[in-house]
């Protein structure tokens, strides 16, 4: 029996199946406890107590929330498109979960019982188009939101679905441009190769040659676009309670409504893993050569822990922004995408393309990023408020006194 387990773990396909099962359990648990973390972070920012009654320090609150969703009455309105109404939450949840397959969690390693030269990849699937796979899968998430809004037969849900479609499609353009910039810089489409490309020395630290230092604007654009893709505040116009009651999930209840929220947090974890892998060295820990390059199983587990800690930090920033910045107006949201992010991301692609074509050193892109910031600062409008108010409308002046 023990020899059979060793043979399964020594085979890349068998190890990938085992890793997939472990990741499904770990990520579902992380999704549930991300909700608890969100409530704790919001309580900390608002100077109040978060959940603290169910279990020690409120640690069993996700279990209580899950039971509540399962035991609630599942109401399906009479005039909905029943098939699409039921399919939408499951579709968006499944799409959010399958993106983890190509994430390089711990690099190359081998078990103690394996022969010299035999190498495994701490990854469910190592494919040539790993980055394109994530882009293709994440873009399918819009279908769940649009179908949920359309099938609900509710005007508020429909508006939320249309907002989500326009928003996601708009912010996928700068996201794709930024990712193309990283592809040009590293020369790879495999995520694991992109992480390895950041193993060099920067500021005297091994494994600190992160893409963030060369394209900080790109990292910022990718993070903000990921906020919009996940419908997170300040880009949550698809479920804007003040205008649309609840948006695309207005008519949903019980576990189907819970799946929408679980999918949102799963998408947050996926996008955080992508941001860390592209710009922050993935599983690399600056200054620790043994951990970054060793092929031992112990080093692999340590690298997985480093990757998980970086993902946790990005998720914390997600939550920090949600409870700090107010929601954009819809015209402002679209203006930021098409008049701001798209031109800037195109400039980054051109900059990196020139550096690659001219065979200049990569540090030249740092100067290029500074130049982009200066051009954007010079082009920003001054002296007039950014508003959607029509110029032909009279401005009302409040008169005080008798």
- Enumerate the H helices of 280-325 as residue ranges: 289-293, 297-322
Give the per-residue pLDDT at 207: 82
On whether residue 388 sits in a domain, the answer given is no
What CA–CA distance (Å, rounded) separates 231 from 246?
A: 13
Query: How far does Cα 12 stand from its chain's mean position?
Result: 27
**β-sheet bridge partners, residue 383:** none
CA distance 152 to 272: 31
- What are the φ/ψ torsions at residue 223 (nearest 5 degrees)? -65, -45
Domains contained in the chain, number: 1
Can you give the pLDDT of all 402 residues of the chain as single tens digits? 677 888 888 888 888 888 889 988 898 889 888 889 988 998 988 888 888 888 888 889 888 888 888 888 888 888 888 888 888 888 888 888 888 888 999 888 888 888 777 888 888 888 888 788 888 887 787 788 888 888 888 888 888 888 888 888 888 889 989 999 999 998 888 888 899 889 888 877 888 889 999 999 999 999 998 888 887 878 887 777 777 777 777 888 888 888 888 888 888 898 899 999 999 988 998 888 888 888 888 989 999 999 999 999 999 999 999 888 888 887 888 888 888 899 999 999 999 999 998 888 888 899 999 998 888 888 777 666 656 555 655 565 555 554
Measured CA to CA, the distance from residue 201 to residue 362 in angstroms comes to 13
Strand partners, 108: 121
Indicate the pTM of the whole model. 0.88
Q: Which residues of 104-113 are buried (b: 16+ CB within 10 A; e: fewer)?
A: bbbbbbbeee
Closest alpha carbon to 131 in 189, 175, 184: 189
From 231, 222, 209, select the one nearest 341 (Cα to Cα): 222
The confidence score (pLDDT) of residue 383 equals 63
Question: Tell me, what's the pLDDT at 386?
Answer: 58
Q: 121: part of which helix (H) or strand (E)?
A: strand 120-121
What tokens were used for 253?
């209840």
Place of tokens 């409040």: 398
Residue 393 placed within a domain: no
On whether residue 401 sits in a domain, the answer given is no
pLDDT of residue 216: 93
3-state secondary structure of 206: strand
* Tokens found for residue 282: 């993935």
Residue 206: give the domain boundaries: 11-378
Q: Report CA-CA distances (Å) from 138 to 52, 58, 227, 307, 399.
A: 35, 32, 13, 20, 52
Asked if residues 174 and 344 have their Cβ atoms less than 8 Å apart, the reply is yes
What is the pLDDT, as a whole number, of residue 397?
A: 55
* pLDDT value, residue 272: 92
Which of the 8 DSSP states describes residue 107? -
- Among residues 264, 244, 249, 240, the alpha carbon closest in space to that of 149 is found at 249
Rounded Cα gap, residues 121 and 104, in angstroms = 8
Structure tokens at 28: 């579902």
Task: Collect all residues with Cβ–Cβ distance below 8 Å to 140 and sequence separation of at least 6.
Answer: 91, 95
- pLDDT confidence of residue 305: 92
205 occurs within a structural domain: yes
User: Is 48 inside any structural domain?
Assistant: yes
Return the residue matching tokens 């920003």: 380
6 falls within a domain: no
Beta-bridged to residue 109, according to DSSP, are 120
Tokens of 210: 């992160």
Residue 331, pLDDT score: 80
Peptide bond preceding 161 in cis form (omega within 30 of 0) = no
The predicted pLDDT at position 394 comes to 59
The secondary structure of 70-106 as a DSSP string is: HHS-----TTS-HHHHHHHHHHHHHHHHGGGGG--SS
- Count the helix, strand and coil residues of the chain and give each as a percent rounded to the nearest 5: 65, 0, 30
Q: Is 95 helix (H, G, I), strand (E, B) or coil?
A: helix
């Amino acid at each position: 029996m023990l020899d059979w387990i060793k043979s399964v773990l020594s085979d890349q396909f068998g190890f990938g199946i085992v890793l997939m099962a472990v990741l499904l359990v770990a990520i579902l648990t992380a999704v549930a406890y991300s909700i608890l973390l969100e409530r704790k972070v919001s309580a900390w920012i608002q100077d109040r107590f978060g959940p603290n009654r169910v279990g020690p320090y409120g640690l069993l609150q996700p279990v209580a929330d899950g039971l509540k969703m399962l035991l609630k009455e599942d109401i399906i309105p009479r005039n909905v498109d029943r098939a699409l109404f039921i399919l939408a939450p499951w579709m968006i949840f499944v799409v959010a979960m399958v993106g983890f397959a190509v994430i390089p969690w711990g690099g190359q390693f081998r078990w103690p019982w394996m022969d010299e030269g035999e190498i495994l990849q701490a990854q469910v699937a190592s494919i040539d188009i790993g980055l394109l796979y994530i882009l293709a899968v994440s873009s399918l998430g819009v279908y769940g939101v649009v179908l949920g809004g359309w099938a609900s037969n509710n005007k508020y849900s429909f508006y939320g679905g249309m907002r989500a479609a326009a928003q996601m499609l708009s912010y996928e353009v700068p996201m794709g441009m930024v990712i193309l910039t990283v592809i040009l810089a590293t020369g790879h489409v495999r995520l694991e190769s992109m992480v390895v490309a950041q193993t060099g020395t920067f500021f005297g630290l091994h494994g600190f040659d992160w893409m963030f230092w060369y394209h900080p604007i790109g990292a910022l654009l990718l993070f903000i676009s990921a906020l919009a893709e996940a419908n997170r505040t300040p880009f949550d116009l698809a479920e804007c309670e003040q205008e649309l009651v609840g948006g695309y999930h207005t008519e949903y209840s019980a576990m189907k409504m819970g799946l929408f929220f679980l999918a949102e947090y799963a998408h947050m974890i996926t996008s955080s893993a992508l941001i860390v892998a592209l710009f922050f060295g993935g599983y690399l820990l600056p200054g620790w050569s043994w951990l970054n390059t060793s092929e031992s199983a112990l080093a692999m587990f340590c690298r997985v822990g480093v990757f998980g800690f970086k993902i946790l930090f990005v998720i914390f920033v997600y939550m920090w922004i949600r409870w700090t910045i107010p929601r954009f107006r819809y015209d402002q949201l679209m203006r930021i995408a098409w008049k701001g992010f798209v031109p800037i991301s195109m400039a980054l692609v051109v900059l990196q393309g020139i550096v690659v074509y001219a065979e200049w050193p990569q540090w030249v892109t740092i100067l290029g990023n500074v130049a982009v910031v200066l051009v954007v600062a010079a082009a920003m409008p001054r002296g007039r408020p950014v508003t959607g108010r029509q110029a032909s409308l009279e401005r009302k002046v409040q008169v005080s006194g008798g």
